[in-house]
Structure 1
Amino acid sequence: MLEKLKSLLGMQPSLYARVGGGAAMDAAVDIFYRKVLDDSCIRYLFEDVDMDQQRAKQKRFLSMVCGGPDKFTGLQMREAHAHLLALGLNDEHFDHIMEHLRTSLESCGVKPPDLTQILDVAESFREDVLGR
């Protein structure tokens, strides 16, 4: 209702609304983790991860990135991924993750420039995730 009112007033809807809101976040994250867990290059990084909890964190994070109502309250990126560095986490892994995110969002109908905006934010975390 609020987004419709904003539209009538000539205001741009939020990125979160443009990509489909909570339902789109849920769908994109579910598709994303199916792709991640099917990827032989990176799935080992998730072997000891509670995937229900991981999906929930990722949905909150993606929602926050898109300006949605969820607030991400997880660990800082460096701290949250430090244990993965010991498993060999590197740029190749990050590239795989980015590609899975891109194709997951595309499959949910996210179009440029919204897709580019989301991917740019995700890319901005590379150095922290990789502990540099």
Structure 2
Amino acid sequence: MSITVRRDGTTGTRHILKVRAHEIAVDTSPDAGGTDAGPSPHDLYDSALAACKALTVLVYAQHKGIPVEDIEVVVNRDDSEERKGVYKLDSTLRVTGQLSDEQRASLLRVAGKCPLHRLMTEVKTEIETRLV
């Protein structure tokens, strides 16, 4: 699968991200020189974690017959030490439904094991960039 990002026009900083049949505008914030015409790459990175946690919890709950009604994941970023090699993401999970304490604990445990959480914390990512 390929993901493509292409500049949207010849002025400004807005780009269009294409994933399969989906298009998402991306940009940087005004304080970073952009126009805030879409989420920034950091926003997308953090959002990917939130989405992965929510989907992982939902699929697990469905598989186990846990009566989940609603799921909300909130991710807050602390990038104040990113240049020192520390990027902190704090996530909270809210799940509604008639759930026992044991089921809630199980859902929290599963959220901490979502594929992107593990990818971000346990896997060495190798990136090659070529000019074509």
Name the one with the larger helix percent.
1
Q: Give TM-score, length-normalised by structure 2.
A: 0.37
Structure 1 or 2, whichever has the larger Rg, is 2
Q: Which has the higher contact order (CA 8 A, sep 6+)?
A: 1
